Amino acid sequence: MNSTHKNTSEDNQSPPDDEKAVEVTKAFQAFVMEPLQTVSKRLEGLEADLENRDGRIDKVEQRIQALEAKFDEISSYLKQFKPLPEPAETDEEIVLKELVPDTRSLVARAMAEARQSFQDDQKRIALYLKNAEFWLERGQRMKPMIEQAAGATDEVIANSNQILENLPQEITKSLESSQQGLNIIGRMLQRLVNQDDRLESLTEEIELADNLKEITEDEWGKLLAGEKNEASAQKKITKKLDSIKKSNYKLVSQAGELADKRQKRWLDFIGKQVLPILDGIVDGKKHTSVLIDEIRAQSQESESILDDWYDTYATLSRTMLTMLDDLGVCRMDIAPGMMIDFERHEPASVEADPAMENEQIKEISRDGYDYVAPDGDRQTLRVARVVVVKNNL
């Protein structure tokens, strides 16, 4: 009985064999199958990634094929055009290329120096010619003015002769010398118009006999062809530059002399040909004024006719001064009592005058004139002659 009870207790403590088998199976599945399932899922994910990558690779290949097709199209289009030629070398580059390295820099500097010198000479000549053209324009303006003044003077003098005929014989005889002076003034103006080549020369066109010289690149190349010695090359370059500068300097000097000659010729014509005519009018009026006063006192009935004749001087003076003013020539503003300016006034004589100071101007014996340029620059055209006070002689 005890034996039976003992077996029953052991059976109750150990599970049956079937149950153990189930447990073992479950444990095996947990140990083996679960990792296999995880690996399987990972493999499935990798397959999906591979499929996606294959799709992207296909797209890349398609893009590459499209680009290759486009490249073929562009290449076919470009083949229709001919290649552009290489830019041609300038003469200066050819010259420098043919020279040995030691002389290239020398020639480059020489070319730059020659070009700068040429441009400077061009500017100087242009300035001189502009000045010469200005004085040519002055001469061309003056010629018709003198012709017009001569015509007006002829009319005024002819009228004065006619007036003189209407005066009593004794008055006519008294004024005969003055009338001859007026007639001479008319002839002097007409001589300027008809016979004086100097007036005509003021209107001649301006020309230079030659043009500025410039050294070309070809001339540099010929000058230094085959030259390999730097010192020898420099000597040739210096000699060539000196030669061309001297030649151009002569032309620049000619242009400067032409401008100076034009200016001097114009100013001399005014001072030596025109102003003496005006001096004759002024002097004639001054010398005749005393005579006119005497005649007025003796023959009052002829006073109005006499005044008409005497106005001839004022009319001629206005005609000449208007012409000179239009040309930029004006009379110096000088009055008795002013101090003498030895650069603008020439002492013709001296006189004592206790009422005045030494070196004061007592009288103007000949008017002085200035030329005033369009820019306002003033230069003395002719000095004035004056009588100067000097006391205690």
Which CATH number belongs to the domain containing residue 377 in this structure? 2.30.22.10
* 58 and 130 share one domain: no
* Domain contains 11: no
Of the chain, the percentage scoring pLDDT greater than 70 comes to 82
* 192 and 285 share one domain: yes
Write the pLDDT tens digit of every residue in 131-162.
Answer: 999 999 999 999 999 999 999 999 999 999 99
Which residue would you say has higher pLDDT here, 37 or 244?
244
* 190 and 289 share one domain: yes
* 208 and 333 share one domain: no
Which residue would you say has higher pLDDT here, 271 or 10?
271
Which residue would you say has higher pLDDT here, 299 or 367?
367
* 307 and 346 share one domain: no
Residue-averaged pLDDT of the chain: 83
* Domain contains 229: yes
* 319 and 247 share one domain: yes
Q: Tokens 């010619």 appear where?
A: 129
Vertex 214 angle, CA 210 and 218, to 5° = 130
* 227 and 165 share one domain: yes
* Domain contains 12: no
Of the pLDDT bands very low, low, confident and very high (cuts 50, 70, 90), residue 226 is: confident
Question: Range with the lowest mean pLDDT among 227-236, 266-275, 348-357, 361-370?
Answer: 227-236
Query: How many residues belong to the chain?
Result: 393
pLDDT greater than 90 at residue 328: yes
* 236 and 303 share one domain: yes
CB 355 within 8 A of CB 337: no
Which residue would you say has higher pLDDT here, 26 or 203?
203
Q: Tokens 């503003």 appear where?
A: 333
Of the pLDDT bands very low, low, confident and very high (cuts 50, 70, 90), residue 29 is: low
* 173 and 214 share one domain: yes
* Domain contains 269: yes
Which residue would you say has higher pLDDT here, 15 or 113?
113
H, E, C per residue of the chain: CHHHHHHHHHHHHCCCHHHHHHHHHHHHHHHHHHHHHHHHHHHHHHHHHHHHHHHHHHHHHHHHHHHHHHHHHHHHHHCCCCCCCCCCCCHHHHHHHHCCHHHHHHHHHHHHHHHHHHHHHHHHHHHHHHHHHHHHHHHHHHHHHHHHHHHHHHHHHHHHHHHHHCCCHHHHHHCHHHHHHHHHHHHHHHHHHHCCHHHHHCCCCCCCCCCCCCCCHHHHHHHCCCCCCHHHHHHHHHHHHHHHHHHHHHHHHHHHHHHHHHHHHHHHHHHHHHHHHHHHHHHHHHHHHHHHHHHHHHCHHHHHHHHHHHHHHHHHHHHHHHHHHHCCEEECCCCCCCECCCCCEEEEEEECCCCCCCCEEEEEEECCEEEECCCCCEEEEECEEEEEECCCC
Query: Which of 13-27, 156-170, 226-240 shows the highest mean pLDDT?
Result: 156-170
* Domain contains 336: yes
At which of 327, 358, 384 does a domain end?
327
At which of 327, 344, 368 does a domain end?
327
In the chain, the N- to C-terminal Cα span, in Å, equals 196
Of the chain, the percentage scoring pLDDT greater than 90 comes to 48
Per-residue model confidence (pLDDT) at position 101: 45
Average pLDDT over residues 254-261: 92
Per-residue model confidence (pLDDT) at position 81: 59
* 193 and 258 share one domain: yes
Average pLDDT over residues 260-271: 93
* Domain contains 337: yes
pLDDT greater than 90 at residue 89: no
Per-residue model confidence (pLDDT) at position 360: 95
Question: Range with the lowest mean pLDDT among 81-90, 237-246, 275-284?
Answer: 81-90
* 109 and 163 share one domain: yes
Of the pLDDT bands very low, low, confident and very high (cuts 50, 70, 90), residue 102 is: low
Average pLDDT over residues 347-353: 94
Per-residue model confidence (pLDDT) at position 52: 74
Q: Which residues of 107-133 are buried (b: 16+ CB within 10 A; e: fewer)?
A: beebbeebeebbeebeebbeebbebbe
CB 186 within 8 A of CB 152: no
Write the pLDDT tens digit of every residue in 158-202.
Answer: 999 999 998 899 999 999 999 999 999 999 999 988 866 888 888
At which of 327, 356, 385 does a domain end?
327
* Domain contains 16: no
pTM above threshold 0.85: no
Nearest to 143 by CA among 188, 186, 204, 184: 204
Domain count, the chain: 3
* 214 and 296 share one domain: yes
* Domain contains 14: no
Question: Range with the lowest mean pLDDT among 7-21, 210-224, 260-274, 311-325?
Answer: 7-21
Domain that holds residue 59: 21-84
Query: Which of 28-42, 68-82, 231-245 shows the highest mean pLDDT?
Result: 231-245
